[in-house]
Structure 1
Amino acid sequence: MANTKADDGENEFDHAVETAVVTGAAGSVGSWVTDRLADDGVEVVGLDLNLPEGTRSNAHFRSVDLTEQGPTWETIHEIDPDAVIHCAAISGPLDDPGTRVYENNVMSTYNTLVAAGRADAEVVWTSSQAVYGPLFAAEPWVPDDLPIDEGTELRPEDPYGTSNAAGEEIAAMVARRYGVSVTTLRPTSIYTPGEYRARPQREGFDLSSAELSGNFWSYVDVRDVARMAEAALAADLPGHEVFCCTADENHLGHPTAELIEATGHDLPADHGLSGDESAFSNAKAEELLGWEPAVSWRGVEEETSSHPEWL
């Protein structure tokens, strides 16, 4: 791992992006992406239903309902950005009706990505590990191969995962039709500073009574998600590329294979899991983007702030 500190040093962004649109800019992921790009000197226009109360240098905000095609297309056409980073979504499928989750996520992704393609803007957007299926599944199950990577079959079992799978088809279509670079990020469960204490307490974890976690206890820090979005813009890869976005290790500190077996589930015969490494592979991101996770739960559990200071 690169390091275990929340501050991963100076930004190393090196790409001709002067203006970027960030959707969901007041949300838990979009706000950190906005923060990082603004630190890079990029002029950020943040789109969200709710405008932030604070102000941020190099950033200003507009209230837009991304499920409405007209306002979304008009806004992105007017801004004419070099890049669009789409982070807006309903990500709590257990808190909203499935129809609302699916319709909101698919329509907002379609409207935003097509508008970006028409503006000849580079695109990065956040899908989810939920496209693989075990997360929010009706019954717990383990994929045929571990660790999970970008080639693992997509088998979503819920409206949220299915909306992201549909979004990935939209992403591929936009790359083909408009000839722009489109990068899909598939984060595992995203932790933000200050949330780590609220996660399952490792000290009280009982392996003998453990139940299978749909994310296989994998996670990624929100600042590392923002760093991957930044790395994708810098790489400017042609066509549509997909990357798993995960920390190197699970958040319990136990061997991952041992955790899965303890829940009564069989491991693939030739699995490649070693120690507490994540059940999701970030090897492709390291190879093509030069990205490695910089933040581990081991170094940031005492943090208390959950949002950028300006939010």
Structure 2
Amino acid sequence: MDTVIVTGGRGASGRWVVDRLREDHEVVVVDRDHPGFGAEGVEDVDFRAADLTDRGAVRELVASVDPDAVVHWGAIPALGRHPEGTVFENNAIAAYNVLTAAGEAGARIVQASSDGAYGFFFADEELLPDELPVTEAHPRRPEDGYGLSKVAAEEVAAGIARRHGVQVASIRPSWIQEPGVYPCRDSDYTENLDAGAGNYWSYVDARDVATQVHAALTAEFAPDGGHEAFNCVAADNALGDPLEELLERYYGEVPEAGPGVDDDGGAYSVAKAADLLDWTPEHSWRDAADEAVPRPELVRD
């Protein structure tokens, strides 16, 4: 069985990634904190503790595990709780350290990027995309520390792929929701149009994120080495109204819409993931918002 390192695997979305990967791999979860001496992981899950901004510690840890693949999911996930410069430094340095060590090990790599790399959500002035749907080829224009850290991480990924000839995928989720806990369906969101305007009312279920990570590890989209980014969003928008009507109501205009923009669809295209990874989202708020699915536990009782 292959061994996969997952950084940030104890986090809210990371644990869904670990839970999916452990079905087919031995998973070593790397986080700043260890669950404790005597703590035993569930089947095919082990733990290590490391500061991902410590280059030497990361290189030593990855070399000692000698993984077949590395999923870099550990990062400060948004602005608001830390100084902006701290967010950038932590995320960019951690990505450099983890991806460099993974490349030196010859491991396949999947990392968490974000739709924040496009620069829409945290922009000082509200922005519309150049066109709909937003594909991975859309220009990345972030102004904030979080979005800039994701662009930096994607550029590191491309460099590692060139230098070491490994396959690297950058996953760009948009506001990850856990089944049964869907803040995009809370009344303060659904009744306030501007609450979701920054990412055009996009979201994605944590289980769909996990399956895209798995697909990116197993698909042969760059067997001789290369980096690709993939949007990771639900097929519909979080409000269930026609997307173009929502944009018109809030922004007063609608970008030029090409193929793939359906009535209540999302603003981001997932055609590239469907083509290269054979992945499409399976979950919608219509069912998942009230679905009773427990959050995965990674430590045995």
The alignment's TM-score, normalised by the length of structure 1, stands at: 0.89
SS of 1:263's partner is: helix
Q: SS of the counterpart of 2:22?
A: helix
Q: Partners in 1 of 2:179 and 2:152 — Cα distance?
A: 30
Residue 74 in 1 paired to residue 60 in 2? yes
CA distance in structure 1 between the partners assigned to 2:212 and 2:18 by the alignment: 13
3-state SS, counterpart of residue 70 of structure 2: strand
Q: C-alpha root-mean-square deviation of aligned residues, in Å?
A: 1.8
Matched, 1:288 2:276: yes
Q: Equivalents in 2 of 1:304, 1:93: separation in Å?
A: 30
Separation of aligned partners in 2, 1:54 and 1:156: 41
Residues 229-264 of structure 1 deviation map (CA, whole Å, 9 limit, x = unaligned): 110111132211111111100111111111011013
Looking at structure 1, the residues matched to 246 and 234 of structure 2 have their Cα atoms a distance apart, in angstroms, of 17
* DSSP 3-state at the match of 1:155: coil
Give the partner amino acid of 2:256.
A
Equivalent residues in 2 for 1:11-160, closer than 5 Å: 18-40=2-24, 42-52=25-35, 55-160=41-146
Name the residue aligned to 1:265: 252
Count of residues in Structure 1 that have an aligned counterpart in Structure 2: 291
Q: How does 1:145-224 map to 2 (within 5 A)?
A: 145-196=131-182, 198-201=183-186, 205-206=190-191, 210-211=193-194, 213-224=197-208
Structure 2 residue runs of 5 or longer lacking an equivalent are none
In 2, Cα distance between equivalents of 1:138 and 1:267: 20
Shift >6 Å, 4+ stretches: none
| SS of match in other structure, 1:214 | helix
Change over 3 Å in CA distance of 1:92–1:178 after alignment to 2: same
Percent of matched pairs sharing the same residue: 44
Ranges in structure 1 where 5+ consecutive residues have no aligned partner: 1-16
Q: Which amino acid aligns with 2:90?
A: N
**Does the CA contact (< 8 Å) of 1:109 and 1:167 recur in 2?**
yes
Structure 2 letter corresponding to 1:293 = P
Whole-Å separation in 2 of the counterparts to 1:292 and 1:204:
26
TM-score by length of 2: 0.92
Higher relative contact order (CA 8 A, sep 6+): 1
Is contact 2:181-2:290 (8 Å) kept?
Answer: no
One-letter code of the match for 1:276?
D
Secondary structure, counterpart of 2:209 in structure 1: helix
Tell me the SS of whatever aligns to 2:71.
strand
SS class of match (2:132):
coil
Alignment partners' CA distance in 1, 2:47 and 2:277:
29
